């Protein structure tokens, strides 16, 4: 290569010998350059793979970020990782946090609108213990895949795992109840004491008085729920203390802690088709209430007016007719009658006429209902309070016939028929005891006591005089009596001597008896002769005749 010199430069030294110019051979790259090329290729392929293999990103709102860590917390479905939490940020209003989740490519379906997310962590609830595996591995986000065709990237996470997942087989039913009792989400549902489902949700109705529950019944048991099925509370111990005594009933030991719902078809129900999903039912308080006949679901109301204390009578107490329950007490009140200036206790009762052999149709006709009421009243049918349990003092209402009861007027023209009543046996006994006490109070016990004391004083004087008389008899009369007894003894000794066999009197008496015997013999011989010879009385006895 030749260089060009500037004219301003100083004179150059003598040039060295010129090198020999040769043509350069073809350039080949060095093996060292292969390393960065391979690295760039691998990085580019990884970048392309990452960009092409990344699934959709979704945002899930949670109440807090407890247990969540960006870049570490995974999203799992049936124990398979399907995503990773990329970041967590606080919402602008600071009411919740938003977790950004990157799903894998093959999990596009998890962006369905009805997909549910929740944080799996150790939970201790009445329905059980869950999430214990996260004590070592850490919390993760659980997923319940939805089935909706609509897609979204914004979700609201659940605070607790759902009771029933979307892929569970069965049906949901709606129950209406007066109160929740001891039920909770996850409480079991029983059919003939076999668990076949669970409670999945509940809410308070807008009216503020009722509760709506949703229960899920698994297959194939969902076919057992028919249009005539009855549901009732089977929560904890069902304890009743009434006029019949103490009753305890429970479905299983689990219901003691978790509560529960039981269902069963009516015993008199005909074959019915299976109920469709979301069919609504009433949730009764107990099995007895649930199994009432249809005509008993709307009983006839009547009022009983009592003039006595109703302490011990409570709503729900039975109405009894000769051992058969024909209704129950609904409510107890108090009423002041201004014309009589007295208080009376109106007791509203529910009657089931069919249990008395009376058709509900017979009561729809006012005239026919009046004839039935008057006939029963004339026969002496009355309502009476009786003690059902001596231990608890609880009362019940008994209907029976009292032929000697005074006639009363009954009215069925008011809002509720008014039936006749009679005082209870205990009240009658108290009244009789009161009369006896009143009569006893009229007895002049003080005057009787004074007369008794006077009589006792006279008797004491009489006893003193008797003592003196006895002492005098002992001193004066007894010696004379002793002498008289001695003389009587001597007389008896003399009599005994006279009557002894060897006494002269006894010997003379024996000789006299012998003479009398001989005289009697001669007299008999004479009479015999005269009978044979009566002429001898005139002629006398001849010598030739022999006696």
Residue spans per domain, the chain: 53-156, 170-291, 298-420, 504-539
What letters, b where the CB count within 10 A reaches 16 and e where it falls short, cover 49-75? eeeeeebbebebebeebebbeeeebbb
Tokens encoding 347: 């007791």
What's the CA gap between 61 and 41, in Å, rounded? 40
| 103 phi, psi to nearest 5 deg | -90, 160
DSSP 3-state of 407: coil
In the numeric block, which tokens belong to residue 460? 């004491």
β-partners of residue 263 are 191, 231
Tally of CB atoms within 10 A around 103: 20
Distance CA 142, CA 157 (A): 10
- Cα–Cα nearest to 350, from 365, 332, 328: 328
DSSP H helices in 219-359: 254-258, 287-290
Alpha helices in 352-477 (DSSP H): 360-364, 366-378, 425-442, 445-472
- Closest alpha carbon to 384 in 372, 401, 406: 401
Cα-flanking dihedrals φ and ψ of residue 255, to 5°?
-70, -20
What is the structure's pLDDT at 279? 92
Q: How many CA atoms lie within 13 A of 409 on its CB side?
A: 2
Token code pair at residue 133: 């595996």
Q: What is the pLDDT of residue 88?
A: 93
- The torsion defined by the Cα of 366, 372, 375 and 380, in degrees rounded to 10, comes to -110
> Length of the chain, please?
547
The pLDDT, as a whole number, for residue 124 is 62
Q: And the tokens for 196?
A: 């076949």
Cα-based distances in Å from 236 to 156, 169, 244, 251, 284? 35, 28, 21, 8, 15
Q: Determine the Cα–Cα distance for residues 139 and 118; give it in Å rounded to an integer.
A: 10
Peptide bond connecting 162 to the previous residue in cis, omega within 30 degrees of 0:
no
89 pairs with which residues across the strands?
98
Strand partners, 204: 211
Cβ neighbours around 332 below 10 Å, total: 17
CA–CA gap between residue 403 and residue 223 (Å, rounded): 55
| Paired strand residues for 218 | 170
How high is the pLDDT of residue 164? 81
Rounded to whole angstroms, how far apart are CA atoms 47 and 397? Answer: 87
- What would the two tokens of residue 303 be? 């009022």
CB-CB neighbours of 140 under 10 Å: 22
Integer CA distances (angstroms), 340 to 200, 335, 336, 407, in order: 58, 12, 9, 19
Q: What is the pLDDT of residue 543?
A: 59
Provide the residue-wise pLDDT of the chain in tens; the chain has 547 residues.
444 444 455 555 566 666 666 655 555 556 666 777 778 887 777 766 665 556 788 999 999 998 899 999 999 998 898 899 999 999 999 999 999 999 888 888 888 888 999 998 877 655 556 666 666 778 899 999 888 888 899 999 988 888 788 878 899 999 999 888 888 888 889 998 889 999 988 999 888 888 999 999 999 999 999 988 999 988 655 566 555 555 665 555 555 556 789 999 877 666 678 899 999 999 988 887 888 766 555 678 888 888 888 888 888 888 888 888 888 898 998 888 888 888 888 999 888 887 777 766 666 677 777 787 788 888 888 888 888 777 777 888 888 888 888 877 777 777 788 888 888 766 656 666 666 777 777 777 677 777 777 877 777 787 777 777 777 666 666 676 677 777 777 777 776 666 666 667 667 777 777 777 887 787 778 777 777 777 776 766 665 554 4
Instruction: Give burial (CB, 10 Å; 0-12/13-18/19+) of 369.
Output: middle
Residues 6+ apart with CB under 8 A from 313: 329, 332, 347, 385, 394, 395, 396, 397
Q: Which helix (H) or strand (E) holds 331?
A: strand 324-332
């Amino acid at each position: 290569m030749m260089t060009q010199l500037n004219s301003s430069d100083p004179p150059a030294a003598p040039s060295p010998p010129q090198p020999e110019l040769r043509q350069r051979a073809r350039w080949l790259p060095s093996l060292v350059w292969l390393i960065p090329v391979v690295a760039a290729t691998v990085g580019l392929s990884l970048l392309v793979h990452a960009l092409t293999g990344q699934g959709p990103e979704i945002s899930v709102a949670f109440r807090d970020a407890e247990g969540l860590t960006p870049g570490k917390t995974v999203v799992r479905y049936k124990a398979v990782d399907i995503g990773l939490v990329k970041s967590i940020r606080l919402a602008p209003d600071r009411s919740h946090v938003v977790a950004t989740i990157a799903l894998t490519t093959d999990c596009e379906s998890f962006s369905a609108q009805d997909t549910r997310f929740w944080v799996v962590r150790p939970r201790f609830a009445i329905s059980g213990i869950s999430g214990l595996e996260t004590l070592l591995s850490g919390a993760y986000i659980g997923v319940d895949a939805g089935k909706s065709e609509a897609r979204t990237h914004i979700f609201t996470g659940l605070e607790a795992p759902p009771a029933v997942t979307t892929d569970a087989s069965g049906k949901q039913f709606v129950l209406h109840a007066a109160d929740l009792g001891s039920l909770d989400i996850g409480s079991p549902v029983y059919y003939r004491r076999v668990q076949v489902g669970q409670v999945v949700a509940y809410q308070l109705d807008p009216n503020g008085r009722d509760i709506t529950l949703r229960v899920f019944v698994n297959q194939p048991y969902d076919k057992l729920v028919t249009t005539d099925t009855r549901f009732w509370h089977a929560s904890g111990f069902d304890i009743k203390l009434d006029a019949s005594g103490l009753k305890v009933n429970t479905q299983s030991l689990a219901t003691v802690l978790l509560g529960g719902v039981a269902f069963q078809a009516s015993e008199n129900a005909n074959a019915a088709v299976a109920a469709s999903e979301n069919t609504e039912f009433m949730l009764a308080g107990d099995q007895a209430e649930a199994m009432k006949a249809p005509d008993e679901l709307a009983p006839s109301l009547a009022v009983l007016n009592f003039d006595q204390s109703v302490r011990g009578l409570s709503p729900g107490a039975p109405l009894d007719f000769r051992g058969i329950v024909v209704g129950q007490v609904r409510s107890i009140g108090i009423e002041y009658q201004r014309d009589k200036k007295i208080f009376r206790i109106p007791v509203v009762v529910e009657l089931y006429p069919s249990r008395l052999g009376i058709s509900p149709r017979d009561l729809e006709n006012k005239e026919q209902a009046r004839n039935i009421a008057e006939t029963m009243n004339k026969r002496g049918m009355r309502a009476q309070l009786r003690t059902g349990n001596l231990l608890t003092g609880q009362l019940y209402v008994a209907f029976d016939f009292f032929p000697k009861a005074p006639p009363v007027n009954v009215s069925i023209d008011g809002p509720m028929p008014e039936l006749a009543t009679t005082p209870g046996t205990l009240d009658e006994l108290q009244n009789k005891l009161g009369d006896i006490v009143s009569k006893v109070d009229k007895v002049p016990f003080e005057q009787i006591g004074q007369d008794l004391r006077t009589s006792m004083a006279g008797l004491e004087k009489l006893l003193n005089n008797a003592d003196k008389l006895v002492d005098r008899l002992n001193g004066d009369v007894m010696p004379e009596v002793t002498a008289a007894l001695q003389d009587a003894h001597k007389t008896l000794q003399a009599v005994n001597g006279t009557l002894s066999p060897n006494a002269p009197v006894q010997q003379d008496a024996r000789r006299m008896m012998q003479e009398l015997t001989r005289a009697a013999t001669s007299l008999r011989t004479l009479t015999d002769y005269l009978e044979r010879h009566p002429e001898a009385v005139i002629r006398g006895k001849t010598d030739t005749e022999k006696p």
